[in-house]
Amino acid sequence: MLTVLQEKGYENEEVIAAASQKSIGKELAFGGRMLKVISVEETIAARPDYAIFSAGAAASRQYAPLFVKQGTTVIDNSSAWRKDPEIPLVVPEINIATALQTLRQAPNHASIIANPNCSTIQMVLALSALERKYGIRRIVVATYQSITGTGLKAVRQLEAEESGLWRVENGEWRTTYGKQNPENVPSITPAYAHSIHRNLFPHGGDFQPDGYTTEEQKLVDETRKIFSDPDIQVSATVVRVPVVGGHSEAVNVELRHEFDLDEVRSLIGATPGIILQDDPQHNLYPMPITAHHRDEVFVGRLRRDASQPCTLNLWVVADNIRKGAATNAVQIMQALLERN
């Protein structure tokens, strides 16, 4: 988030870095200076104009209302507020105008805006022009999600497994007798129940009683809310893959009206924040290795589904840490500033 703020020209603004007690006093580079991390309580007392949260749902529920009482607008990157009907769930290129109207009509949470899940953001942005032009009846999506979506612990697990010194056996960590003695191998806490190196597994979030995971449910609920259409049918399968650069999605979308494929390409290519990479004859299609560290959502492999009418297949890739989180949150703040 600090990197994105700096890139977008806020390096000369007063920026406060706040965190939990264990991080107070640490220093972070920003805009040619060092920011000393202070407590959340000190930050609330400073009455900032905007607070961008990325500290988990529990912290958001505890502290966001306290910031709001001080007149701060909170942009929250957790799942805490996404389902609240009074709080807008925003991808700026799609629904910032609707969000502002919602804020004016919802005095109880007038200064909280929710950032969608990373997988949702890239999918709905890729489909937004098609939703406006044709309407969407049904989406079937399989995600191929980067380990960075789980966090630093997952990155450390992959690195440890790549070294050949660790493996998961029967759900537990075991050292392997490689080039180093096990005594010299640093202790690793695994992020997953299985090895992720040279592997993938259909498990993101927690499993629900219906067999779907919480990550899959987010794609259902958030898509409907962002498009303001509770009738859109969404079926999702989340897969974790040993990738660092970003999330990928295979999307099958049934539209409410027939479409022209060339028009679809034009509509998607003209969508702000989208880069169309759709020349498979020259091996041009989106990949996480090229989306890494980029703010755009990349779309390609556009093709008609021959098995039923009004249905399209596409491949969507984005850096889940950038547009899937930090960039989208900063863009929300930018949009609010431009309209105030």
Residue-wise pLDDT for 277-298, tens only, equals 999 999 999 999 999 999 999 9
What percent of the chain lies above the pLDDT cut of 70? 93
- Rounded mean pLDDT of 146-171? 86
Tell me the C-alpha distance between 201 and 188, whole Å.
Answer: 20
Q: Which residues does the annotation mark as catalytic?
A: 118, 247
Q: Domains of the chain: which residue ranges? A: 2-116+326-339, 118-149+201-320, 152-184
Shared fold status for 2-116+326-339 and 118-149+201-320 = no
Fold category of 2-116+326-339 in CATH: Rossmann fold (3.40.50)
Summarize pLDDT for 316-340 with one digit per residue, the tens: 999 999 999 999 999 999 999 987 6
pLDDT of the residue at 180: 46
Confidence label for 155 from pLDDT (cuts 50, 70 and 90): very high
Question: Which fold is adopted by the domain 118-149+201-320?
Answer: Dihydrodipicolinate Reductase; domain 2 (3.30.360)
Task: Give pLDDT tens digits for 24-69.
Answer: 999 999 999 999 999 999 999 999 999 999 999 999 999 999 999 9
Look at residues 191, 214, 193 and name the one whose alpha carbon lies nearest to residue 204. Answer: 214
Whether the CB-CB separation of 131 and 227 falls below 8 Å is answered with yes
Q: Provide DSSP, 223-288.
A: HHHHTT-TT-EEEEEEEE-S-SS-EEEEEEEEESS---HHHHHHHHHTSTTEEE--BGGGTB---H
Q: Which residues of 57-79 are buried (b: 16+ CB within 10 A; e: fewer)?
A: eebbeebbebbbeeebbbbbbbb
